[in-house]
Amino acid sequence: MERNGLIESLVGLLVLAAAGVFLFYSWSVSGQSLARDTYTLNAVFGRIDGINAGADVKIAGVKVGTVSGFSLKTDTYEAKLTLAISGATPVPEDTIAKIVSDGLLGGAHVALEPGASDVFLMDGESVAITQGSVDLLGLAVQAFTSGGGTKAARSPVNEPADELSLDP
């Protein structure tokens, strides 16, 4: 009887360990950080297609933070992103923030292109220069449908003349 109790206890510990692993995994992919050494920047974009909370913020392809939240500015109907940046990464005030696609089928991330300023953004400040996401599907549809079904422009050289005039 004592052996069954030991086996049940071991199985219980195994189940608790598995639950802990799943909790840690879900916390890590949620975009939350265990490290508190971050500061917050804001950025306002016209479009943020493909960006969700937890999306990466990268400089030169290296992850330096995550998107911690987003909201709609109802006065301008623009999207405001809140970025949690690593405290070890100073961001110059003339930095450009862009929404960049990870690929044709992938998501998107925020790419920061630092400027040359010696003044750095502080906690709670905003990135002034931004470029929103590009609607790739809309561009493709526009490229394939432009000119389709409409009369093509003809040059005057190729148009038939109504009258033939030889007078100078």
pLDDT in tens, 93-137: 999 999 998 876 778 999 999 999 999 999 999 999 999 887 777
Q: What percent of the chain has pLDDT over 90?
A: 51
Closest CA to 121 of 147, 148, 97, 143: 97
Q: Convert the pLDDT of each residue in 49-94 to its tens digit.
A: 889 899 999 999 999 999 999 999 999 999 999 999 999 999 999 9
Structure tokens at 94: 């003339």
* 15: helix, strand or coil: helix
Which of 35-39, 128-132, 156-160 is predicted least confidently?
156-160
- Rounded Cα gap, residues 71 and 58, in angstroms: 21
Q: What is the pTM for the complete model shown?
A: 0.64
- Rounded Cα gap, residues 149 and 163, in angstroms: 29
Task: Name residue, tokens 């953004």.
Answer: 121
